[in-house]
Every structure is written in C-alpha cells, then in structure tokens.
A and B are shown apart, each in its own frame.
Chain A
Amino acid sequence: MTVDTHPPASARTRRLTHFRPDQLAWLALALTLAVLIIAPLSMLVVKSFTDGTTGGFTLENYVTAYGRARHVQALWNTLVMGLASTVLAVLLAVPTAWACTRTNMPGRTFVRIALFGSFLMPPYLTGVGWILLAGPNAGFINQAWTALTGLEAPLVDIFTFSGLVLVMGLSTFFTIFILVSAAFELLSTEMEDAANILGAGVFRTAFKITLPMAMPTILGSALLTFLVSIALYGVPALISIPARYPVVVIQLAEFFSFPVRIEVAAAYSIPLLGITIGLLLLQRRVLGRKGYTAVGGKGGERRVTDLGAWKWAVFGYVMLVVLLAVAMPLLVLIMAAFSHSWVSGLSLENLTLEHFRYVLFEHSSSQRALITSVATGAAAATLAISLALSISYVVQRRLLPHAGVLAFLCMSPFVIPGIVLAIGFYAVYALPPVGLYGTYIILILAFTTRFLPIAYTTSTNGVRAINPEMEEAVRILGGGQFTAIRKVVAPLLKRTLASGWILIFVPAAQELSTAVFLVGPHTRVVSVVLLDMSEEGTFERLAALGSVLLLIIATIVLIGVKLLGRDFMLRRS
C-alpha cells in the first residue's frame, strides 16, 4: 500500500472549504523565499539588461563585460582554477576519508578532530597562513630552505597559480571529506569481503569495490567543491592579484570600483550562474535522481580493513593533509599573532601581546566587528534553520500544492556564487526605496539566503526521519496541525535544529564573499576587517583578530558539540 499512503495533493481539497490560518503561514513562507531568492536573482537579470543611466533595455552591459579579452580570460582562468583545486581537494579528501573510515590506520579519531579544525578555519585565514608559510622570500618554508641550502631562489611561491590552487584545495576539501566519509561508513564490509574472498588485496579492493561504490558521492561532493571554489572571494583577493591570475570574483570587484557599474557586474555574473546551473543539471543526468547521497545497502557488518605495514604509509599521507590544511597555517597564524614581527620567527624577545591589545581594545572596528560577526552569524543561522525547517516540513508533508517549487528555491542559492548574490541583494535591497544599505538586516538576510541550502538539507533529513503517522496520531486524537508541530515535531527535531544551527553559524560568522559589498561602516564583519588589514600587510594584527574570531567560534561549537554529543557531524549515528 505504498502508492496511496501519501497522496500528492491532500491539502488541495481541504483548502477549498477551510482556508485556515496555518495555510496563510505556509503562504508566508513562499513569500519569504521570494524576498530572499527570487527578487535578488531576477533583479540581477533585469539589471544586466538595463542601461545604467537611462534605465532602458540594452545589451551594452554584456558587450562591456565580455568585450575585453582580459575579462573572458578571467572566466576561463576561473574554470581552470576551479577544476585544478577540485582535483586537488579530491586527492586530499578521498584517501583520507577512506583511511579514517575503512582501515585500521592509527589515530583515526585524532585526524577527524584535527580536520574539523579545517571546517572552523575560514579560507582567507588558511590563505594568510600560507602567505606567511610560502611567501617567496620571507615565508617560513623559504626562510628555512635558504638557511638549510644557502640557495636564494625560493623553494615554494604562494603567489602563483599552483599556490592559489593549493590554498583553494586546502580550504575546500573538508566538504568532500565529510560527505565521502559518510558514504564509506554506510558501505557494508561484506562488499569488500566478497572481493577479498575472490583474491583481491587491500588496495585492489579499495580501488575496484570501495571507491566505485562511493563514486556518486565523490562526484557530487567534488562538483559542490568546484562550485564553491569558483565563487570564493577571500583566497583570490589575497593571492590571485599578486599571482597575476585574474579570476571572475576579482573582475566582479573591479566592476564595483571606479566607475561603479552594477549593471556590468550583473551581466558579467550571469554566465557564472549559467555554468553552475548547467553543471548541476549535468550531474543530475549522470547520476540519475539519486544525487550524491547515493550509497545503497545500509545493512551488514562494518569492520575496518587491516592495512598491515601499509598503515604507516597511509598514516603519513593523512598526517601530511592534516599538516598542510590545519596544523601549519594555524600554527603560523598563532605565532604571528604573538610576534612583534612575524618574519623574525619564534623567540622570547619577539613575543608580545600587543596585537591582541590593539585589536581588542584600540582598533574600534575590530571590537565592533567581532560582535557583528557573531551576532549576524547567529541570527542568520537561526533564521535559516527556522525557515528551512518550516519549508522542508511543508514539502515533506505536502501541505501546499507545488511544494516542490519551495524546495527548489531553498536549494537554489547553491548555484549562486556569494558575490553574485551580494550584487543581487545590493541591487534590490540596498538602494531606495528599500534602502537597507548599512544595516544589520541586509547582512542577516543575505547570510540566511546564502546558507539556506545547508539548512534545508539538514532539515529535510531531520523531517524525513519523523514518520508522518506521529503527527497523524495527534490529529486523529483531536489536535490541529500546529499542536502536532508543537508537541511532537519540534521536540523530535531538537537535535537536527542544533546541529543545523552550528553548521550554518560557523560559515556565516566568517562569511566574506557576500559581506564584502553589503557591509556599511558600522556593520563591518570580521572577515571584511581582516581583508582590509591584509592589504596593509599588517599580518600580525590580522592573525590576532583572526585567532580571536576562531576562538569564539570554536568555543560556541564546542558547547554545541557537548550538548549534541561528540559525533554530531563527524560520524552519522
């Protein structure tokens, strides 16, 4: 009786005679999404065809945006960089995920916790860390190289294409790691045993059985990473200008400088939007409707593979990943934060608390920015998770006709690069008649929109886990829909709520791409202040402020993890 258990349009007939307040509430959700997503996006499209001075229709913006070889080059560069950093991210993430979930490599728990640090660390701080490590002359690695070999030529140079790709890959691989780990964990050992019995060794089994089984997840998460990396602003702002490797986000920023050409920026970002949508459609076609969570077979025993002596080789590789992604950049940042001058390295006379004093008590923007970042991050997380929960509930329970449209809208910010979203938001809400420029509201709304897909995915998983019969039991006993939500759904979703909140809060409190065009003088968030500091080269202060932000976020996450149990995102229960 599976066909008729959840009829697709149960609400429709009810609505005809009983138009109740709860349905008004569902309609309000649709309106909210229109405000958050449809309006900015359609404004972006409209602006791209609008003459900035006359307000009439024009194609001139596209000519300006794509009329120069350099601008087209930036688009091409972006794709190349995105592809290269995605490949790197996969190479970093997949073996690590395999080692942590399917093998007896030592220190698996340590690795998971250490890599969690890479989730807490925003890309631009990883970038700054690597500038300190691999600046061509003064970078620690090159200093050590020169000291060791006497050679003047730098060993590594972060201000190059490969440097850019390295930082990008290190900043984004965690998503792949987490998703692929989850997929590996769902695989039954019996699949591997079957191959072993037929005579396949450990690595052969990994390549022939384990890897292909997780392939949909790997491809899906890689695509996600690609989309994230082509839209990331912080890392290119730090590295791609000195590396002279122009990319789309930098070009977009140029359209926002003298003279400010929002219309051209809009026109320039449309293809980016097209590429993202196209790739997602392609993925859907290739993988079928299963998406990137497709790993069949829950059942079966799960047991780790004994790697024998190889486990130390694997351990070595995984440690390298931990070092590159977390330990080294974090260490140099902390060191810089406590140093008079970061180049001088570790010594007692170089030690100082001066920078912390400066950012905490003297520099008026940083104090305010710390509060703004945490507050807007928390507000956006709360808003996004409430909205997403409501919508995934409506969608899962089919309370509204065409609920699928709401679901689609919720996921659509996925395909909108942060900086493009910011331009759309700016065009609709910053300018009169709305005039939200420089308010916290516009930041919170933009962050909410940006992280709605994460919220929606988490919420949907949570709602899906609640059997609709739980609520029907309330209804039939005499309670309304809202009673069911209040007494049953909400209490059962507490965990989902909390873990979703953390998953959004962390990136929202560090968000840069969306913030960069939307902050006002009094609503600057830490990421923007850090970016401004980076252009003055005051890395010590930047490191101090970055460390304070990391500390605050880590504390909040730790409290959450304490409440939720340690494995809320490291392992699926």
Chain B
Amino acid sequence: MTLIQRLMPATGLAVLGLLLPASILQAQDLTATEAALYEAAQSENGVTWYTSQLTTEQAEQVCALFSERYEGVGCFPVRANGSSTLQRVVQEIQAGAVQGDVVSTNGVSDFEEFKSLGGLAQYRPENLSGMEPSLAALNDSDGYYFVSGTSPFGFVYNTEIVAPEDVPTSWNDLTDPRWRDQIAIAHPGFSGSAGQWAIAMDRLYGEAFFQGLAANDPQIGRSIADGYTLVTTGERSLTVTSLALGRDAMRDGKPVDLVVPEEGMFLPPSAAAVLADAPNPNSARLFAEFLASAEFSEWLASMGRNPLRTDVSTPEGVPDLTEVNVITVSVAESLENQQRVVEMFRDIFGI
C-alpha cells in the first residue's frame, strides 16, 4: 500500500478514505492479543508473506483484507511455487538474512525442514482455538506451524473436449492410454502440493502409476495453477488440481467441471508459520492470528473453499471434509518418501 501511496498519492488517499470506516468498526472486535500485536505492529514495516498456498491474485486479496482490518499494517505477498518458496526460505534461514515474516505452503513437510533448521518461531495463534478439530490435529504439536488452508485435489476437465461418458472416475485413470496427450500435471519437484499428491499416488499404485502416466505424455508445469489454466484454455483437457480452482473457473463461466475420484479427494493441508528471525515479528504474529481468524475462514468460504473454523459454515456445493473420502499424507510419511518419490518421478519423466 505504501508503494501505491508513493506512486499515486491521490488514489492512495481515496482508497484509504474508503477503508477507514470499516477498520474503525472492526477495531472493536479485536481480541486482547490482537490488539496488543496490532499496537506493536504499527511501528513495524508490515508483513512479508511468502506463500505458495494461493494464487497471486488471491494472496493480494488476503493481504488487502488484512491491511483493511489492521489499518496501517502493510502486507506484501510474495507468491511463488512450492519449491521456490521452500528454496527462498531455506536460503534465508541458512544465510541468517531472513526477509520474510510469515510463510505458508502446501507441503507440511517443508515446515519440518524449516523447523529443523531452527528457522521457525514457536507461535500458536490464539485464534486456533476455533479450528475444526480434524484440521487442528494436523497442527504442529510443538507449536511451530499450523494449518492455514486445505485445497482438496481432484480432476478438473474441459467440458468442451471431454464427453460426459469419458469423465474419469479413478486416480488410476490417468494411466489409461485414451488420455494420451490430454493431461496436464504439476511437477512434484516444483509444486509442493503436487509433491504430496505424488507421495499419495505412490502409496496407492506404486511406480506403475507413474510409468503409465508418463506413457500418456502429460504436459508438466511448475505449479498446479498452470495445469488449471491449460484446461480452461483448452490447451489440455484434464488436470489434477485444486477443486476450488475448478469451482472458481466454473463461476467465471469457463467450460470446465470437476470430479472427485472414487478413492477420495486428495487433501494436502496448507500450513503457515512465523519465521524465527522475522524482521517484523509483531506484524508476523498478527498475520498468523489473522490466518486463524474467522475473517480469513469467511474469505475462504466466500472463495468456495473449505473454511478452517467450526464457526464458519462450509459453502454450498463444497463437500464437507468430514463427510467424504479423503486421502492424506502425514508429515512423517512425507518426510520419509518425498525425496525418493520426486527422484523417481524425475527419472521416469526425464525432467
């Protein structure tokens, strides 16, 4: 926001003017912790948020919401794919030159890596008390990281290309030769959630799954958002991606639909953490509180995503996570298998 103000003073002031009444209203429902953090954050430089959890546009929206609620506390999203984000944060921790405040990705195991490097601050947001218990179970027991979102995976396909009778039903359909040259996937070495997904597929169908998939010559992108765009534009007809992204596209009138495979939707939990040497520690903690707050869950719901809290209801058309088949990968399983699966993928796909 500061930059906008610097660039375009008039616009900046106008925006500020619009935000002001709202923030005064909301200031009243701050918890004591939030109020104290807010107070301390005023003198900091805003929060820098490394994320691969959302698209750039969504991250910008979340930041705007945050800055609206906590007027005067800036929020700078730095969106990249899972592996880039991991690389950046590890680099910073190792370099002792931490520039980010909060990190959130779709690979819970990433956080174990950060944690082992001593890069995370122990901070359990107060607002986590309202979290849906099945998700809260995934929070780090030591309080270094917590769940910040879920993005159930399934198939998204282009309805103009795929006939209703051809719609796939099983994850294993990806190895069916009739999908040759039709599939888009994300590279597990680049995308955090694709990495988790690959671990799950390996558990279900083993190496043969990847051999079969490779034979179908899928287009490999660096992020799951890439495959989704490929399908909405008709470049490819079927992709493995976040169902929420598919719902976004449907809402935008794009010719796509989604399927949940019969084995269940794959659920990679997104996690968030405050960095130990965050240059803006109070803003960072305030942002962590925000991610655990009802307001953030409401935003998730408004975007057609599963909310994190019990006090926010699941939006219509979105399956309640407690009621459907779900495939998950535990942190331990992820740590144990990630490198092996990614290497296997690279060897099979040659990239």
A contacts, CB < 8 Å to B: 68, 70, 73, 135-139, 159, 237, 240-242, 244-246, 250, 254, 256-260, 341-343, 358, 361-365, 367-368, 426, 430-432, 435-438, 517, 520-522, 524, 532-533, 535-539
Contact = CB atoms under 8 A, between A and B. Distances in A.
Interface in B55-86: 55-57, 60, 63, 76-81, 83-84, 86
Given A237-B222, A365-B78, 9 more contacts: A242-B221, A245-B351, A246-B350, A364-B76, A367-B3, A436-B97, A532-B56, A532-B84, A535-B81
B226 A536 contact: yes
A367 B351 contact: no
Interface stretch (B28-36, B119-127, B128-136, B227-235): B227-235
Nearest to B96: A432
A159 B351 contact: no
B219 interface: yes
B304 interface: no
Contacts of A367: 3-4, 7
B349 interface: yes
B221 A254 contact: no
B233 A244 contact: no
Interface string B224-253: 011111100111100000000000000000
B252 to A, nearest CB: 9
Nearest to B97: A437
A521 B87 contact: no
Contact of A521 (B96, B99, B187): B99
A257 B189 CA distance: 8
A437 B91 contact: yes
A533 B226 CA distance: 9
B33 to A, nearest CB: 26
B351 A438 contact: no
B99 A437 contact: yes
B228 A537 contact: yes
B100 interface: yes
Contacts of B346: 70, 254
From A73, A343, A520, A539, name the one whose CB has the most chain B CB atoms within 10 angstroms.
A520
Given A70-B347, A245-B351, A435 B87 contact: no
A108 B96 CA distance: 56
A257 B83 contact: yes
B3 A364 contact: yes
Interface in B332-351: 338-339, 342, 346-347, 349-351
Contacts of B113: 258-259
Contacts of B351: 240-241, 244-246, 250
B46 to A, nearest CB: 10
Contacts of A136: 181, 235
From A237, A368, A438, name the one whose CB has the most chain B CB atoms within 10 angstroms.
A438
B60 A537 contact: no
Interface string B156-199: 00000000000000000000000001000001011000000000
Given A362-B60, A367-B3, A537-B230, A532 B80 contact: yes
From B11, B190, B222, B230, name the one whose CB has the most chain A CB atoms within 10 angstroms.
B222
B233 A430 contact: no
Contacts of B77: 364-365
Contacts of A522: 48, 76, 99
B94 A524 contact: no
A258 B99 contact: no
A341 B90 contact: no
A548 to B, nearest CB: 13
B99 A536 contact: no
10 contacts: A136-B235, A138-B230, A159-B219, A241-B220, A245-B350, A364-B1, A435-B96, A521-B48, A521-B100, A536-B223
B28 to A, nearest CB: 28
Given A361-B11, A535-B225, A536-B55, A437 B95 contact: yes
Contact of A244 (B48, B81, B350): B350
A138 B233 contact: yes
A438 B99 contact: yes
